[in-house]
Amino acid sequence: MRKSSWVLSLYALGASASCAPAHRPVAEPPEGVAPVRKVARIVAAYPHATDAFTQGLVFHQGQLFESTGHRGTLRQLSFESARPVWMESLGDIFTEGLASDGERLYQLTWTEGLLFTWSGTPPRRERTTRYAGEGWGLCYWDGKLVRSDGSATLTFHEPGSFQAVGSVEVTLNGQPQEQLNELECANGVIYANVWHSSSVLEIDPATGNVLAVIDASDLVRAVAAELRSEEAVLNGIAVEPGTGRMFMTGKLWPRLFEVRLELAD
């Protein structure tokens, strides 16, 4: 349902190859060396609501939360049922990326220019902050919120005011990588869904360099027969603090997957 056109260098993708961020440097591949190629293997599958147009996925205070688009919601998920444990409906607001700093949840909106800050249990909206530009993905890294807007630029924001304090251009094999969507900050990198693709990128937050391209097509194939919309694409990445378990899903998907990353053959 994006109004912007889908411009993605599939050739480049094919040829190449949460709450508590790891504050350690990430080694950038030497100049001229292609990013590492990885594969997301399915470890386990759990039920997921097929009305959830997944825009953000994150662990917060030991629980898994999801932001959904169209008629926006914030949801607390369980692994036992597709039905949310808790849900707040936001009406006609198209909510997007979701991040946690361990104390608060931060939820983007697509074109409304509003950031919702949630606190408490269950979460209650604490404040609404205005910002300029589109909101796609959001994650928390090194004391800052990182926002994607569908371009090749990641913008860093101060959490309290949401004032922009820096940015970085994401490049894959030296070329700008656009269509960055849902984000997850974990393991010292920024994971990013590439909209309308089965690829997830590992990005160095300091340089914007793509360190690895993850092929998640096994997940797409696992649900393909049950999908009824061309917008039911891979979107949603969450890493569980403490265990390191990684989860991925998609918009309108019937399942949430625990995955393991392996080097591609």
DSSP code at position 102: S
Q: How many helices (H) and strands (E) does the chain have?
A: 2, 22
Mean pLDDT of 20-45: 68
pLDDT at 32: 53
Instruction: Kindly tell me if the per-residue pLDDT of 194 is higher than 70.
Output: yes
DSSP string across 231-243: T--EEEEEE-TTT
pLDDT in tens, 100-156: 999 999 999 999 999 999 999 999 999 999 999 999 999 999 999 999 999 999 999
User: Can you give the pTM of this predicted structure?
Assistant: 0.89
Q: Is the dihedral of CA 124, 117, 1, 251 positive or negative?
A: negative
Element (H, E) at 220: helix 217-223
What is the arithmetic mean of pLDDT over 53-74? Answer: 98
How much is the CA Rg of the chain, to the nearest whole Å?
17
| 3-state helix, strand and coil shares in percent for the chain, rounded to the nearest 5 | 5, 50, 45
According to the CATH classification, is domain 33-263 in 2.120.10.30? yes
Is pLDDT above 50 for 24? Answer: no
Domain extents in the chain: 33-263
Distance of CA 165 to the CA centre of its chain: 21
Please report the DSSP string for 46-86 in residue order.
Answer: EE--TT--EEEEEEETTEEEEEETTTTEEEEE-SS-SS-SE
User: For the segment 14-23, what is each residue's pLDDT rounded down to a tens digit?
Assistant: 333 333 333 3
Mean pLDDT of the 159-176 span: 97
- Give 94's strand partners: none
Asked if residue 107 lies in contact with residue 67, where contact means CB atoms within 8 angstroms, the answer is yes
Report whether pLDDT(216) > 90: yes
